[in-house]
Amino acid sequence: MELVSVDAIEAAADRIAGVAVRTPLLPCPWADPDRPLWLKPENLQPIGAFKIRGAFNAIARLDDARRGRGVVAYSSGNHAQAVAYAAKVFGIEAWIVVPVDTPSVKVEATRAHGAEVILSAVGEREVVAAEVVQRTGATLIPPFDHVDVIAGQGTIGLEIVADLAADLVLVPVSGGGLISGVAVAIKAKSPSTQVWAVEPELAADTAASLAAGELTPWSVADRNRTIADGLRSQPSALTFAHQRSLVDGIVTVGEDEIRQAVTTIARNARLIAEPSGAVATAAYLFHGDELPRGKTVAVISGGNMDPELARELLV
Amino acid sequence: MELVSVDAIEAAADRIAGVAVRTPLLPCPWADPDRPLWLKPENLQPIGAFKIRGAFNAIARLDDARRGRGVVAYSSGNHAQAVAYAAKVFGIEAWIVVPVDTPSVKVEATRAHGAEVILSAVGEREVVAAEVVQRTGATLIPPFDHVDVIAGQGTIGLEIVADLAADLVLVPVSGGGLISGVAVAIKAKSPSTQVWAVEPELAADTAASLAAGELTPWSVADRNRTIADGLRSQPSALTFAHQRSLVDGIVTVGEDEIRQAVTTIARNARLIAEPSGAVATAAYLFHGDELPRGKTVAVISGGNMDPELARELLV
């Protein structure tokens, strides 16, 4: 299977400039001096997550006529807001299909970006999205299983390499779009830098798949147990091919470790990370013995959290 | 009185590169589209506040022999941590004089950067610091009343101008080192951009001084009423001269407005700002009618907050 090229990622970087924030690496004086740590704060993107990079790149790649007919996404999370926000930047329509049980705070956040929210029965999102595509002629923007989405997320890897000669980059993994793009960029520009995936123990289908050498699905019910609600998807053939080829290792983190990482990031780095966004830092904090040593980067993938949970974890 | 030059600020930018984080401007899609807002998140500096810029520049400007004898500061707040951190980067000794009633969390944060903390009687900080200077031959690094400190803080203005053609930049004011440097940089590079100071109503000595055309001191007791504990100082002759010459206006904000701004920044921008760091955003949120319209930047000066207060304001 053909992997995304670093050229595609460099082209994506040009496209997203001025829309996605060029996030800095934040040095952490509170970390272990023998394994100095930098955070890559993607929670500071305008929608609060890295997803804007891939969504914007994918929409930018459409030709004018096609883009003019609008875009569709099915997601209750950060990808929905990313597609809605990117569509607003382009001045096109966006239809976002969300299950009826989606918290209203997320529905409102998506509407606030000007998207039309379509409620679907639980488990019917993809079918409803396909109907919208057929009715409107709009283009479906998938959350991770698409070369343009992967290329957009990979711009994070280019930025890391430009800023630091890192020994290790820790990346949250779920559908795998983020780590696929980041790994392509880093291995192309700095082959000696190790790229490791981090996954919740309770949704460790990628770890199982990498161990087995083939996609090893877990049930939705199993994956939904983790507090890291952005990490409940599983890889596609495309993102799994990237990971088998490019990722150096994977570590899983426990639920308490994720919670503690959210608190540590708030107290010490003055950043609000959602649980999914905190898993890479959790791996650094609690699984150092399993990881290569040296200069370490932890990607904070997002910071959108229910107020209830924020009250519990932040302070 | 001779003001700091933009050349001095540009030289400072070269010195602090790689030590201070080159913070991005963060667009705020939740803000009023008629007055688009960007945040300059200086709470993301390694010590959690902009003070690292001025402290590092001032220490870098010492000749090797003098710097080798170490540095002294009297501060219970962000300047103490900035001097301690900068001294650690240079591998020199730092003595930080703090009043005995300083919260232990702040004392520990300063010690964690390797500084020697010297407790003094309340109101005796300056005397004790002078004794340390005499005994050790170390150099006192003042928090704002020094051209090299002002030049370091001014690098924030250079970065803002490089990133955005802003109509208005809102800057917290207390001793005035930050706004003095920022105003020099912005007026040199983008004369049409307005620079406004923001001050707590309960510590509005700068507003009173600008209105009177001369320094108008307020009592310590009065200034200490505000929750914004980093904004309880007052200008020196040097920083007041900069402000009279370069600052376009000043607005004061109430205590409830400051508290609400901390909460808004956490919820919408996923950043932890201390009350002092939130006043510019408070001015944007609650005093828009008093401000010039157009593209607005609010400087978030810091994010160090007592856990008690964080619990109350963040969520």
Residue A307 has a pLDDT of 83
- Is the same domain home to B162 and B227? yes
- Which of A118, A140, A162 is at the close of a domain? A140
Q: Is beta strand A37-41 parallel, antiparallel or unpaired with respect to A26-27? A: antiparallel
Mean pLDDT of B58-86: 95
Q: Structural domain of residue A250, as residue ranges?
A: 6-46+146-313
- Interface check for B89 against chain A (CB to CB < 8 A): the answer is no
- Is the same domain home to B122 and B180? no
Please state the ipTM of this predicted complex. Answer: 0.95
In a domain, A76, yes or no: yes
Cross-chain residue pair A271–B44, CB shorter than 8 Å:
yes
- Is the same domain home to B159 and B189? yes
Chain A partners of B48 at a C-beta cutoff of 8 Å?
Answer: 270
Residue A101 has a pLDDT of 82
- Is the same domain home to B236 and B122? no
Mean pLDDT of B187-214: 98
**CA quadruple A289, A213, A145, A235: dihedral positive or negative?**
negative
Q: How many CB atoms lie within 10 A of CB B289?
A: 6
In a domain, B1, yes or no: no
pLDDT tens per residue across span B61-73: 999 999 999 999 9
The helix (run of H) or strand (run of E) holding residue A12 is helix A6-16
- Which of A107, A140, A173 is at the close of a domain? A140
Active site residue ranges of A: 51, 76
Residue B306 has pLDDT above 80, yes or no: yes
- Interface check for A213 against chain B (CB to CB < 8 A): the answer is no
Nearest chain B residue to A303 by CA: give it.
B270
Do residues B72 and B115 touch, judged by C-beta distance below 8 A? no
Nearest to B215 by CA among B239, B183, B199: B239
Question: By percentage, how much of chain B surpasses pLDDT 90?
Answer: 89
CA distance A116 to A95: 5
SS3 content of chain B, % helix, strand, coil (to 5): 50, 15, 35
In a domain, A184, yes or no: yes
Nearest to A41 by CA among A151, A194, A156: A156
- Which of B107, B140, B173 is at the close of a domain? B140
- Is the same domain home to B57 and B196? no
CB pairs under 8 A between A and B: 79
Residue B75 has a pLDDT of 83
Q: B48 falls in which pLDDT band (50, 70, 90)?
A: very high
Cross-chain residue pair B22–A26, CB shorter than 8 Å:
no
Lowest mean per-residue pLDDT among B49-53, B72-76, B80-84, B193-197: B72-76
- Is the same domain home to A113 and A218? no
pLDDT tens per residue across span B216-245: 999 999 999 999 999 999 999 999 999 999
Q: How far apart are the first and last CA of chain A?
A: 46
Chain A partners of B303 at a C-beta cutoff of 8 Å?
Answer: 270
- Is the same domain home to A157 and A244? yes
Cross-chain residue pair B28–A46, CB shorter than 8 Å:
yes
- Is the same domain home to A10 and A86? no
CATH code for position B92: 3.40.50.1100
Strand ranges inside A173-275, DSSP E: 194-200, 249-253
List, for chain A, all residue ranges whose pLDDT scores fall below the cut of 50.
none
Among B51, B75, B106, B187, the active-site one is B51
Chain B partners of A24 at a C-beta cutoff of 8 Å?
Answer: 21-24, 44
- Is the same domain home to A102 and A119? yes
Contacts of B178 (CB under 8 A, 6+ apart): B50, B144, B153, B156, B171, B172, B299, B301
- Is the same domain home to A169 and A20? yes
- Interface check for B272 against chain A (CB to CB < 8 A): the answer is yes
In a domain, B188, yes or no: yes
Output the six-digit token pair for A156. 């994070």
Residue A314 has a pLDDT of 85
In a domain, A285, yes or no: yes
In a domain, B210, yes or no: yes
Cross-chain residue pair B29–A307, CB shorter than 8 Å:
no
Residue B19 has pLDDT above 90, yes or no: yes
- Is the same domain home to A150 and A120? no
- Is the same domain home to B79 and B205? no
Output the six-digit token pair for B114. 């390797």
- Distance set, CA B69 to CA B53, B56, B92, B202 (Å): 21, 16, 7, 40
Q: B122 falls in which pLDDT band (50, 70, 90)?
A: confident
Cross-chain residue pair B26–A41, CB shorter than 8 Å:
no
In a domain, A1, yes or no: no
In a domain, A234, yes or no: yes
SS3 content of chain A, % helix, strand, coil (to 5): 50, 15, 35
Count structural domains, chain A: 2
